Every structure is written in C-alpha cells, then in structure tokens.
Structure 1
C-alpha cells in the first residue's frame, strides 16, 4: 500500500527548462562558446551539475577538461542564482494534484539532483506547504540513480521503501526508484520520452498530473 510519494523536481513538478538553458548559455557566453538550443538541454539535465557541464562542453565540441568544467560551473552558478525563477513555474495541475494527495493522508517528499539550496528555494516559493521532506544534492548525498537520497527522504517521511512511490520524468529517476526498492512511475510532460521511461523500469506512466491520483488508487 502506498503511504508516501517522492517526486523529482525538474521536469516533474516544475518547468525549469528555459531557466536552466538561459543560465547555461550565459555561462557558455562568458567562456566565449556558442549557445545550445533550449530543447537540447532536455537531454543534458538530470544527472547533476558536473554531468551537465560536461555535456554542454561536448555539445559545443569543446574538450571537457576539469579546469573548463569547474570554470563553466562557476559561471553557471552565478547566472542561475541570480535568475533562479526565470520562466520557471509548476506544471499545470501540479498544485491541485499535490493538495489531493495531502488530503488523502499521503506523505509527500522531493528528492532532486539539483543543488539543495536551489531545490529548497524553488519549492518554498512555488509549491509551499505541500511537502513533508525536501532534499537536493548535497556534498554527503550521492547523485541519482544512487538510492541514498531517496532512502533518506523515505526515512524522513516515516515510510518503508516498499510503501513509497517515486515519480520522475527520466530514466535516471526510474533507476533511482528501483535501486531504492520503491515503485517507479514516469511522467510524460517532462524532459524525456515514454520509450526511455519504460526501458528503465517505469511500472506506470502519467500523461497528466491528475493521472497520478487515479493511478495511486489503482495501485492501492
């Protein structure tokens, strides 16, 4: 029986693609490198900042040396921290879906590969008073698909992993759920496609936020 629901952030709860691409391209510009199309960032984000920087450099055909990754990350953090809410908002229907789950008595959490500082700020400003536990990437927290962060959230929620539903928009999220012993559910309004979600172990797929409510009732 599902007692707790843990959500990914980017591409699941919040539309952040334009904000991320804006900050990333500002960082590339500071290094004298060309911008990347916004849509291409769908396949670069989701695995943490270092992997994002590596992917950006490779996309613009620049060697991903440690020094360049560090410099690009510094520029990105400067730009993103100053423009954190740029064109960023909850997906349509997310707030109502969360309120419905809360009324059902389910515990709700967030675990993201986004740095914890940004994760906390975004949730507190855009989806306040909905979650019982929120955690982003910290120095002592391995990035997904390592299950440590998801298991930490489950413990905070007072739920066994087997009683948790983990919801995300990427294959990494589905791997995280499986690695943590949780039930994986993919969403189709985010950054990745149905094929990726299914190939990485999604047991259920939601096409709209309200589908999550229906599917939880089916799961029991």
Structure 2
C-alpha cells in the first residue's frame, strides 16, 4: 500500500484530524470522565479502556465509563458535566505526538499548507490548538463549524475552501474510520494513522490510500517523491 510517490501526486495541502492524529488528548479526556465517576463514588475506569474511545468524544468516553448511549436516560446530563470538566482542564497532560512538530515543519518547508478538521466543538478546539502548539494551522474547522460533522465531507470541503486548494489536491489524515470515509467523500487521498486511538476496527480495513505507523513515515512519504530527471 505504501510506496514512493511521483512528484505529480504530491498534495498542495494536508488536512489533519486533531484528537489521536496530531495530539494525544486522551489523558485529559479520560480524566474528565473519571471525575464524573469519582463524584458518584465509583472507581475510575482504567485508562486502557478509555483510550481507544477517545476519538469518539463524549459518546465514546461516556459509553466506556458508564455503558450509556446518547439514547439512554442520564446520558445528556453526563455529557454536559463531562464538557465542563474537560473545559476546565483540557491541556494538563495533552501533547503533540512524537514527530508531529517535525512533520508540520516539513510540510511548510515543502511549500504545502496544512489545516485541522475535527469533530471536536469549537468551544474546545479554538483554545486547545493554541495551548498545545498548533496555532500556525492554516485553517481550523470544528465539529460545529458546518452543519454536518464527519463522516460527512462538509468540514473537509470547508477547510479546502479556506486554504484555497481544490479538494482533490488535499490529503486527509485521521485515526478513525469516519476520517477515511469523510476524506473519500470529499475526493481527497486518505491516510490512516495507526499511531492514534483507532477504535475497535482495524485501520487496515478502512480502505485508506495509505496506512502509516508514525508522523515520521508521513513526512518521509511527502519528501521522498521521485522527481523526473531533467532532459538534456
């Protein structure tokens, strides 16, 4: 699946999911939901159980910690309280994944743009990107920026519009199956990043154009394109 690219196949912009792709935010997401449990006299849910659900936000965290779905009684109250807990401590332990700063620097040096498309509400996205060093993104599209979150392509198409790049000249990178679905629906090449949270479905089954194990691999893919030799 992963192979050197011809220079003609290189993108003009790279769009990234946020949680589990650029940033390891699961520790703070998990802490926020475990505050709900301890406030109710319950033992914290093990981090190993919560981490794989982090890309699903409140639905994933509350589902893993309390066994509730959005259709269940009591879910909405927990969701609102989880939002408050998270907003109060959203960048205590969250960091960029190893290799991400180098990747973003390399993208810029290669003359490409980069941006963020996340299902995270702007209430959290806007402050968080500055707190963890992503303030140089060319655009930030949150889950409530457009009427439709991923896997709908609306957010990705809005990001391409803001960057002034045709969707077919963009790549989308994410750690969830819906990221690949959204990217394909937007007409973008897709990259599944197995360094992220990934959920219960194996990334190899998502149908992404590339499956990569680290941000460094993505940088290598972008910078190892074969350029035809000049004609004498």
Band of TM-score, shorter chain: 0.7 to 0.9
1:83-122 alignment to 2 at 5 Å?
83-122=89-128
Tell me, which stretches of 5 or more residues in structure 2 are unaligned? 1-9, 227-232
Distance 2:147 2:100 in 1: 27
1:200: which partner in 2?
Answer: 206
Map 1:14-163 onto structure 2 (within 5 A).
14-50=23-59, 52-58=61-67, 65-138=71-144, 140-163=146-169
How many residues align structurally? 217
Distance in 2 (alpha carbons) for counterparts of 1:194 and 1:77 = 24
Q: What is the CA distance between 1:191 and its match in structure 2?
A: 0.9
Q: Which one has the largest radius of gyration? A: 2
C-alpha distance 188-65 of structure 1, shift in aligned 2 (>3 A)? closer
Q: Give 1:13's aligned residue.
A: 22
Question: Does the residue aligned with 1:75 lie in a helix, a strand or coil?
Answer: helix
Query: For the Cα contact (< 8 Å) 2:30–2:61, is it kept in 1?
Result: no
Between the aligned partners of 2:12 and 2:145, the Cα distance in structure 1 is 29
**Structure 2-normalised TM-score?**
0.83
User: CA RMSD, aligned part only?
Assistant: 2.4
Asked if the contact 1:120–1:135 (Cα under 8 Å) also holds between the matched residues in 2, the reply is no
Distance 1:29 1:140, change over 3 A: farther
